Structure formats: structure tokens, C-alpha cells
Amino acid sequence: MELIPIIKESLKELDSRSYSKRFIKPIREKVKEIAMEIAESENWANWEDNKVSNGVKTGGKMLNGEFLAEFYFSYKHDSWKKSSYLAVFQRDESSAAGYTIQAHDQELVSVFSSEEAIKLFHDAIQI
């Protein structure tokens, strides 16, 4: 019998703050770090002509509880109606990290490879 799931469930019931600190916070930090590393390595962290705020931000699906973790960065050019963004997410504790790319003029795309996400976002921000 595997004890870890039983212990985790007991901790969640007894002390949700400790559970969150021990199990949820590290996942969120990992996902945020992935988003920050991509933004910095590709020079997408601080555009001079960005019409939306620069930096890595908390995603709405994390804020509303749909995803365990979601962080994104975005870019908007003057000539676009919508911004383009790249989000790194993890749905729950047992899932792998994934990537969502929304180009300003295309449908939302989800992938599970950082290389593919970087290429898609690169294409999404071409002017």
C-alpha cells in the first residue's frame, strides 16, 4: 500500500495551509520559473513597444481554480486588436506542464513541448 497519497490527503484535511506550502507552492514556483526562463531566454521579458504590460503574470485559469498553476507573458503591437500570449500551465498535481499559445489573429493552441511553444509564439508575434 502506498502511504504518500494517504498522508497527503490527511494533511490536506487537517492543515490545508501546510499542504499548500508543501505540495502546491513548489508546483506553482516551477511553472512560473519555466515561463520566466522562456521569456528571458528569448528576449520576450521587456519589449519597448509592448501595448500590454511586460513581465510574467498569473493566468486567469489559475486564479479561478481551473488550473493548479498558470503563468503567462504577452505582447501586443499597435496594429493588432488582440494581444498574443504564451502561457505555461499545469492542470493538477499529477499532470505534466503544458503550454498554451494564443496568436493575436489565430485560434488558441496547446502543446506539451517548450520548443514547439517557443516556435509558435515566435510566429505569433511576427509583424
The pTM score is 0.89
Q: What is the three-state SS of 54-121?
A: CCCEECHHHHCCCCCEEEEEEECCCCCCCCEEEEEEECCCCCCCEEEEECCCCCEEEECCHHHHHHHH
Q: Is 107 exposed, middle or buried (0-12, 13-18, 19+ CB in 10 A)?
A: exposed
Distance of alpha carbon 98 from the chain centroid: 8
What's the pLDDT score for residue 7?
Answer: 64
Higher-confidence position of 5 and 30: 30
What's the pLDDT score for residue 89?
Answer: 98
pLDDT in tens, 63-103: 999 999 999 999 999 999 999 999 999 999 999 999 999 99
Domain range list for the chain = 3-124
* Whether pLDDT at 8 is above 70: no
